[in-house]
């Protein structure tokens, strides 16, 4: 038997319905805030992610779903969205051809070669936004507001953790400070952290194994080392968030797993749920566009995990429209049912036709199983007299309609 690839899921039935509604709602909210949809290919040259996301990141080092194509080109299935959108932004001269701020969003599948677990899969889906050409802290605030707005819409209990990780200049200074601080305590660190100290000292703050930030109250904080420009930006951002009415907590140890962030960095965690409770994350990336080969363009954005979001949305958040089902009880009724199906289709009602003639009892049993609210039956009598029988499954009420009385039928099924 052939089964799905590890870490990849099928989606169908009622879950697929709710997933579709979730995406629909997100798209509506995006349209209202003038974010345009941005679609990019699933496959990219692996070099894009190495350069964009960062050679030293785990995502690139060990989680890339990559392979050689038939011409021997090294390609990767995108592990995140920002690098691709930036590549397209540069490739099409969007910064020159479109007014700024340029606001884009995506809802798309991504791939990471990881060991699956709760809330984590090899093919997963993210919703995200990217805003180009605007360096203001207010735009960062709007970006974070956008994420919170989506979560609010779905009634999710969340907490925003906010930090600034500075720019090239001040982060270098902070980095030195960190190295100095932890080098003095090297033998108290776990093995991983000793490596991190060499490669990417900022990530050391994230460690849960030896958990340095919990053990030492006096670990240097990035926010104490911000340059004037960055500190000012961070302060203005907080004011703007207050103005947007977005609640947040300052978390000086938020670093991000992707190398491209500057200044603003944030994560949103769900207050309910288990270990994989990071539902969204993002920040500013003022150097990425130029790193990819474009002109100097400030940018900011976030990504939200749709599987994680979906799990947080109550199951009864969306309800399917009541189903109507039609049955023919004899051969003579089949074509009349076909005609009726056509009429119902034009009315956009949720209608399921079963053309195989069956006894009334069977038809009702089937209607019961398919969860139909209204049943339409054409038997010998109805077929001969141009009628159709409607039964309300909940009340057991029956009404005989003229088969052409579509408006009467529609109002009957719309009442409840």
Q: Under the rule (CB under 7 A), what is the footprint of RNA?
A: 1, 3-8, 57-59, 62-63, 80, 112, 114-121, 124, 126, 192, 203, 206-209, 256-258, 267, 274-276, 278-282, 303-305, 307-308, 329, 359-362, 364-365, 367-369, 377, 379-382, 389, 391, 393-394, 396, 398
Full DSSP string of 262-326: EEEEEEEEESSSSS--EEEEEEE-TTHHHHTTS----EEEEEEEHHHHHHHS-GGGS-PPPPEEE
Label residue 276 exposed, middle or buried (CB < 10 Å: 0-12, 13-18, 19+): middle
301 pairs with which residues across the strands? 130, 283
Q: Least Å distance between CB 331 and RNA?
A: 13
Q: Least Å distance between CB 377 and RNA?
A: 5
Backbone CA torsion sign across 201, 202, 205, 209: negative
Task: Select from 156, 160, 133, 165 the least CA-distant residue to 144.
Answer: 160
Q: Show Cβ contacts of residue 57 under 8 Å, excluding neighbours closer than 6 positions.
A: 257, 258, 259
Task: Select from 369, 280, 281 the least CA-distant residue to 327.
Answer: 369
Identify which of residues 230 and 363 has a Cβ nearer to RNA in the complex: 363
Identify which of residues 21 and 120 has a Cβ nearer to RNA in the complex: 120
Q: Least Å distance between CB 229 and RNA?
A: 25
Q: Is 368 helix (H, G, I), strand (E, B) or coil?
A: helix
Identify which of residues 206 and 291 has a Cβ nearer to RNA in the complex: 206
Identify which of residues 141 and 258 has a Cβ nearer to RNA in the complex: 258
Alpha-carbon distance of 392 to 64, in angstroms, equals 54
110 pairs with which residues across the strands? 124
Q: Which helix (H) or strand (E) holds 354?
A: strand 351-354
Identify which of residues 137 and 282 has a Cβ nearer to RNA in the complex: 282
Q: Which helix (H) or strand (E) holds 374?
A: strand 374-378
Q: Least Å distance between CB 367 and RNA?
A: 7
Q: Least Å distance between CB 15 and RNA?
A: 13
66 pairs with which residues across the strands? 76
Q: Least Å distance between CB 80 and RNA?
A: 6
Identify which of residues 60 and 95 has a Cβ nearer to RNA in the complex: 60
Identify which of residues 232 and 371 has a Cβ nearer to RNA in the complex: 371
Q: Least Å distance between CB 184 and RNA?
A: 21
Torsion, CA 176, CA 180, CA 182, CA 186, rounded to 10: 130
Q: Least Å distance between CB 65 and RNA?
A: 11
- Output the six-digit token pair for 176: 């030195």
Q: Least Å distance between CB 119 and RNA?
A: 6
Q: Show Cβ contacts of residue 248 under 8 Å, excluding neighbours closer than 6 positions.
A: 144, 160, 161, 162, 238, 241, 266
Identify which of residues 243 and 394 has a Cβ nearer to RNA in the complex: 394
Q: What's 174-221 look like in SS3?
A: HHHHHHHHHHCCHHHCCHHHHHHHHHCHHHHHHCCCCCHHHHCCCCCC
Q: Least Å distance between CB 226 and RNA?
A: 21
Cβ(350)–Cβ(323) under 8 Å? yes
Q: Least Å distance between CB 391 and RNA?
A: 6
Region of 237 (left: φ > 0; alpha: ψ -120 to 50; beta: rest) is alpha
Identify which of residues 399 and 411 has a Cβ nearer to RNA in the complex: 399
Identify which of residues 62 and 416 has a Cβ nearer to RNA in the complex: 62
Task: Select from 38, 106, 57 the least CA-distant residue to 260.
Answer: 57
Identify which of residues 117 and 345 has a Cβ nearer to RNA in the complex: 117
């Amino acid at each position: 038997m052939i089964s799905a690839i590890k870490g990849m899921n099928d989606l169908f039935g009622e879950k697929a319905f709710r997933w579709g509604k979730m995406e629909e709602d997100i798209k509506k909210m995006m349209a209202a805030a003038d974010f345009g949809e941005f679609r990019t290919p699933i496959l990219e040259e692996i070099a894009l992610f190495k350069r964009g996301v960062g050679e030293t990141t785990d995502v690139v080092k060990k989680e890339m779903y990559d392979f050689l194509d038939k011409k021997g080109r090294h390609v990767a299935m995108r592990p995140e969205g920002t690098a691709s959108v930036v590549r397209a932004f540069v490739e099409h001269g969007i910064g020159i051809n479109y007014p700024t701020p340029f606001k884009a969003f995506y809802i798309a599948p991504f791939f990471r070669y990881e060991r699956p677990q709760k809330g984590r899969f090899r093919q997963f889906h993210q919703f995200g936004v990217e805003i180009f050409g605007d360096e203001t802290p207010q735009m960062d605030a709007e970006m974070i507001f956008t994420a919170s707005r989506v979560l609010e819409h779905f009634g999710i209990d969340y907490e925003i953790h906010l930090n600034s990780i500075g720019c090239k200049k001040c982060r270098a200074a902070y980095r030195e400070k960190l190295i100095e601080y932890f080098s003095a305590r090297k033998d108290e660190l776990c093995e991983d952290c000793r490596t991190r100290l060499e490669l990417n000292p900022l990530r050391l703050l994230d460690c849960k194994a030896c958990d340095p930030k919990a053990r030492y109250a006096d670990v240097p904080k990035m926010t104490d080392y911000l340059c004037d420009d960055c500190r000012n930006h961070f302060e203005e951002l907080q004011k703007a968030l207050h103005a947007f009415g977005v609640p947040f907590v300052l978390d000086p140890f938020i670093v991000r797993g992707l190398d491209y962030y500057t200044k603003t960095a944030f994560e949103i965690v769900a207050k309910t749920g288990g270990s994989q409770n990071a539902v969204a994350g993002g920040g500013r990336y003022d150097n990425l566009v130029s790193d990819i080969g474009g002109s100097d363009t400030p940018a900011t954005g976030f990504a939200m995990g749709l599987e994680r979001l979906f799990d947080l949305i109550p199951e009864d958040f969306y309800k399917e429209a009541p189903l109507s089902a039609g049955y023919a009880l004899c051969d003579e009724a089949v074509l009349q049912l076909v005609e009726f199906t056509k009429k119902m289709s034009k009315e956009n009602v949720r209608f399921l036709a079963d053309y195989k003639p069956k006894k009334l009892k069977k038809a009702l049993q089937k209607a019961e199983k398919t969860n139909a609210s209204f049943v339409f039956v054409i038997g010998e009598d109805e077929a001969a007299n141009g009628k159709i029988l409607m039964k309300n499954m909940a009340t057991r009420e029956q009404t005989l309609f003229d088969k052409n009385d579509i408006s009467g039928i529609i109002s009957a099924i719309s009442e409840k």
